[in-house]
């Protein structure tokens, strides 16, 4: 489900100001401690102004509505996935990204540093999210960006030319071409400039192929030899370029164990790991974030697969708004600090998008 911090879901109308205040206080206490929260603890909160008995009465109502669960007869209560959904939609106050976190993200995803290729950046980003949030970092690239940027040629030795094809987000494909005519580097440079002008309006490799084919088939009879050679080399450079296989990168699975609380039994932990193993389902969730074009949050059963109860997935697209490359985010327990995690995920996606676009 999409995150809309201004929207108030229908369930919000069922809760008065007192119930909302107590539910917010309970969730915040649970986020801090990870254990069941007693009415006495809430009654002692600054500004609560209610007796433990009054708090207990509201907690009983919230439990009846499905917002709270009571793990043990004598224990306090814990929020359910329904409560976390209500908290995110109606109660959470998202914080700005901290200065230190912002500087670290900028530094780690800086395209100017050594080895900062698009592939390396996309692998660094989930590792960075794991380090910052202590949740599982994920990035999903459903397909190679087949947008077209340029073709250049480099003379290697007699009879060999390297075609350097640049796709969207700075991706580079090299094709080794054989030629049966002598050619100098300055002539290859002219070929590159000619093709750049010819293919200036081509946005994808498919459009580049079409433009080259039209030029060759429609005008070839009256083309000069140099133009014909440039078109032939260009056509060979873009022919049969296959997209890379979809890639799902997962970093920091052990964090699920590190954050386990007394309330997380062995069965639930096993469910968490089964959920992470369902790569296809996880990829579909991230695809939904790409299609939505904005940050999307799935809590518990909203993810739609076994083992997801008690888990949350926060994901947002990266790349140009009109041409997203994939999605990035985190997977963690529903007991995550949404107010801090959401802006970190969003800012990481923004920096990654900007770096790939400028690279």
pLDDT band of residue 2 (cuts 50, 70, 90) is low
Residues above pLDDT 90, as percent of the chain: 37
Q: Are 300 and 316 in contact (CB under 8 A)?
A: no
The residues with which 160 forms a beta bridge, in sequence order, are: 157, 178
Distance CA 136, CA 214 (A): 49
For 310-345, letters b (16+ CB in 10 Å) and e give bbbbbbbbbbeeeebbbbbbbbbbbbbbbbbbbbbb
CATH superfamily of 99-143+245-358: GAF domain (3.30.450.40)
pLDDT band of residue 5 (cuts 50, 70, 90) is very low
Q: Rounded to a whole number, what is the largest CA-CA distance in the chain?
A: 93
Read off the pTM.
Answer: 0.70
Dump pLDDT digits (tens) for 227-248: 888 998 999 988 866 655 567 8
Dump pLDDT digits (tens) for 136-161: 999 988 765 567 888 999 999 888 99
The predicted structure's pLDDT at residue 186: 93
Distance CA 46, CA 295 (A): 33
Q: Are 202 and 208 in contact (CB under 8 A)?
A: yes
Cα Rg of the chain (Å, integer): 27
* Residue extents of the structural domains in the chain: 10-91, 99-143+245-358, 148-238
pLDDT at 66 over 50: yes
pLDDT at 7 over 70: no
* H or E segment to which residue 258 belongs: helix 255-258
pLDDT at 355 over 50: yes
Residues in the chain: 359
For the ranges 30-34, 172-176, 246-250, which has the lowest average pLDDT?
A: 246-250
Q: Name which of 37, 20, 120 is nearest 72 in CA terms.
A: 37
- Those residues whose C-beta lies under 8 Å from the C-beta of residue 238, and which sit 6 or more positions away, are 148, 151, 165, 205, 208, 209, 212
Q: Residue 15 is encoded by which pair of tokens?
A: 């809760």
Residues above pLDDT 70, as percent of the chain: 82
The predicted structure's pLDDT at residue 188: 94
The predicted structure's pLDDT at residue 284: 85
The predicted structure's pLDDT at residue 219: 61
pLDDT band of residue 94 (cuts 50, 70, 90) is confident
Distance CA 264, CA 262 (A): 5
pLDDT band of residue 265 (cuts 50, 70, 90) is low
pLDDT at 165 over 70: yes
pLDDT at 135 over 80: yes
* Domain 148-238 class, CATH top level: alpha beta
Distance CA 268, CA 88 (A): 23
CATH topology of domain 10-91: Arc Repressor Mutant, subunit A (1.10.10)
| pLDDT, mean of residues 101-114 | 84
- Those residues whose C-beta lies under 8 Å from the C-beta of residue 332, and which sit 6 or more positions away, are 133, 134, 135, 136, 255, 256, 259, 311, 312, 341
Kindly report the backbone phi and psi dihedral angles of residue 309, in degrees, each rounded to the nearest multiple of 5, phi listed first: -60, 125
The predicted structure's pLDDT at residue 12: 47
| pLDDT, mean of residues 301-322 | 82
The predicted structure's pLDDT at residue 246: 62
The predicted structure's pLDDT at residue 10: 40
Dump pLDDT digits (tens) for 173-215: 888 999 988 899 999 999 999 999 889 888 778 888 888 888 8
Mean pLDDT over each residue of the chain, to the nearest integer:
83
């Amino acid at each position: 489900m999409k995150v809309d911090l201004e929207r108030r879901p229908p369930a919000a109308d069922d809760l008065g100001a007192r119930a909302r205040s107590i539910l917010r206080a309970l969730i915040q206490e649970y986020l801090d401690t990870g254990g069941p929260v007693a009415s006495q603890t809430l009654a002692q909160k600054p500004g609560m102004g209610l007796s433990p008995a009054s708090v207990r009465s509201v907690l009983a109502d919230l439990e009846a509505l499905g917002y709270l669960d009571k793990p043990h007869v004598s224990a306090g209560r814990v929020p359910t996935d329904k409560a976390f959904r209500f908290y995110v939609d109606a109660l959470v106050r998202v914080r700005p990204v901290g200065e230190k976190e912002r500087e670290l993200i900028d530094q780690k995803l800086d395209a100017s540093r050594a080895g900062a290729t698009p592939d390396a950046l996309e692998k660094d980003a989930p590792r960075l999210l794991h380090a910052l949030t202590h949740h599982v970092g994920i990035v999903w690239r459903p397909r190679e960006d087949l947008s077209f940027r340029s073709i250049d040629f480099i003379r290697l030795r007699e009879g060999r030319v390297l075609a350097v094809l640049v796709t969207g987000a700075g991706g580079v494909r090299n094709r080794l071409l054989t030629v049966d005519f002598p050619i100098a580097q300055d002539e290859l440079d002219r070929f590159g400039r000619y093709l750049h002008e010819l293919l200036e309006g081509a946005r994808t490799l498919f459009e580049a192929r079409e433009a080259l084919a039209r030029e060759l088939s429609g005008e070839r009879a009256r083309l000069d030899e140099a133009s014909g050679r440039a078109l032939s080399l260009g056509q060979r450079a873009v022919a049969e370029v296959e997209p890379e296989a979809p890639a799902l990168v997962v970093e920091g699975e052990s964090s699920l164990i590190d954050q386990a609380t007394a309330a997380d039994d062995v069965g639930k932990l096993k469910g968490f790991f089964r959920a992470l193993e369902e790569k296809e389902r996880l990829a579909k969730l991230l695809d939904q974030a790409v299609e939505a074009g904005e940050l999307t949050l799935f809590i518990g059963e909203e993810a739609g697969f076994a083992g997801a109860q008690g888990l949350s997935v926060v994901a947002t697209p990266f790349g140009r708004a009109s041409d997203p490359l994939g999605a990035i985010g985190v997977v963690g327990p529903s007991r995550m600090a949404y107010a801090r995690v959401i802006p970190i995920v969003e800012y990481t996606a923004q920096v990654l998008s900007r770096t790939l676009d400028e690279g």
